[in-house]
Structure 1
């Protein structure tokens, strides 16, 4: 089938506005021209793709467009996929999204404001969302739930998305943690349980990255209100409660539950930094995305206060 106008908007959204995907766009365009043409701009690349490929399914099936790229795109737009997803399933989900009436509004809005949209480190000011961020972050199906609007929950969802996106691409930095940050990590496999404790930012990062590399995990948090929430403990520490699924090529292999303790750093532009982190990785099947209400380990934290106003 020819590429529809809606799909063209979607392709721009996926391969142009996602700046890290631009090199892939140029690579695909050069490959379809057999490297005869020197493709240097995104518009040239799009023109070659629209004419020479002419079919969205064929384009997204190109080897250069990886499953991780497709998954990240859906994940950033708060579109839930089945736990055991394949590249074909992700492609079908994206094409369906591009041709939906909801996407027509969202894509047009993003097109109008794209020049102002940037990807920034996680800073305190981002708890007040600009129109582009609001269009993306507030898409969960439970958006009508008044409580999900609370600033502490918005902060929790933004932080969770930022943290696991950076963990998945191994870009967490020592400055994202307090120097004395602590980690309690439990890896519960079918035949054994291993516990790890870290007492400094460098140890925390090294342990997280080593675990990810050893098992090849891809962390897929449930970014709806059912899967990520904020709380305040008695010491004024902002707690972020999050859960999701663990993936390795090509299967869902487990679930995770995490609690983050966040504090602002007045000497780092008042950014939120990780002070404490407790995380459990469990080996189990997951037909559906897990939710916080199902967790035994997070029950106590879920009973803590939920501030309705701005977080200071």
Structure 2
């Protein structure tokens, strides 16, 4: 019998997907003391999950490198300092699994059976909606990054209103503002961040990094701060504001009406804390966008 809970088993399986085939086969031999002969990656994964005594033991194995755990946490929306040691990442992963907040299920991923549209089965609490939306959105976007080695999820213009607008402000050596209009263009530009530029966006879902407001007219505003990574390097921070509106013609699923994305590179940050960035927008500024 496996010593892993259902949540731990699902989380460990996600981490194992990030491993190279050779490391995975080697880990299977280690965990089973070479008593189980496996013929493929699927069998190796099953053996590791079945014969590991507990999640902590598996995470501490040498073949489970710290970068794999870091990538997994980022995919789950957990912001960690880029210089975190492996034991810190292991501890945070175990805390995540014990809290029951990992591996957002299909109810949060989509309303339909093919998870095409965004709809949450939650009471209308803007903050809860904002947190679940960010978990869903950044998992979906980060899954397009080929360096993570995972199956890309269902990204596309169907998650946006046809007249959606993206405002992209980038501050690195200089400041650049670009605007994109329409579901197809906005979808492609955001996709390029992860698929072509190989960026990983790690949102800070703690209260200082996430805020959500609702207007009387049906618009929900979600603002989130986070860090931007490429492989193990932290490139800077971002702040992103989403405007969400229900689509009555698509089973009242939530779709994205506008996106404001502000990116600041390391050179533009100075002494700013980047490990768990906080929102710089105040409540009044957000209320103006919500009106």
For the residue of structure 1 that corresponds to 2:187, the secondary structure is helix
**Mapping 1:275-294, distance limit 5 Å:** 275-283=257-265, 284=269, 286-292=273-279, 294=280
Q: Deviations over 1:108-166 (max 9, x none)?
A: x99xxx9x95465344752427xxxxxxxxxxxxxxxxxxxx70111111111111111
* Alignment gaps of 5+ in structure 2: 112-117, 145-152
The whole-number CA distance in structure 2 between the counterparts of 1:25 and 1:290 is: 29
Q: 2:205 matched to 1:223? A: yes
Partner of 1:81: 80
Deviation at 1:50, TM superposition (A): 5.5
Q: Deviations over 1:181-224 (max 9, x none)?
A: 111111111x2122111111110011112234454321111101
Partner of 2:38: 37
Deviation at 1:301, TM superposition (A): 0.9
For the residue of structure 1 that corresponds to 2:190, the secondary structure is helix
CA RMSD of aligned residues (A): 4.1
Say which is worse superposed, 269-278 or 251-260, in terms of deviation.
Answer: 251-260
Q: Deviations over 1:257-307 (max 9, x none)?
A: 111111111222211000111111111363441212x347x751157789x
For the residue of structure 1 that corresponds to 2:109, the secondary structure is coil
Deviation at 1:251, TM superposition (A): 2.2
The whole-number CA distance in structure 2 between the counterparts of 1:205 and 1:161 is: 18
Q: 2:147 matched to 1:163? A: no
For the residue of structure 1 that corresponds to 2:38, the secondary structure is coil
TM-score, normalised relative to structure 2? 0.71
Contact 1:26 1:42 survives alignment (8 Å): no
* Alignment match of 2:250 (pick from 259, 262, 268): 268
Q: 2:285 matched to 1:300? A: yes
Residues matched between the structures, number: 261
Say which is worse superposed, 173-182 or 228-237, in terms of deviation.
Answer: 228-237
TM-score, normalised relative to structure 1? 0.66
The whole-number CA distance in structure 2 between the counterparts of 1:66 and 1:96 is: 12
Say which is worse superposed, 42-51 or 261-270, in terms of deviation.
Answer: 42-51
Contact 2:24 2:45 survives alignment (8 Å): no
Deviation at 1:169, TM superposition (A): 1.5
* Alignment gaps of 5+ in structure 1: 1-6, 130-149, 307-312
Contact 2:198 2:230 survives alignment (8 Å): yes
Q: 2:165 matched to 1:182? A: yes
Q: CA 1:194–1:211 in 2, change beyond 3 Å: closer, same or farther? A: farther
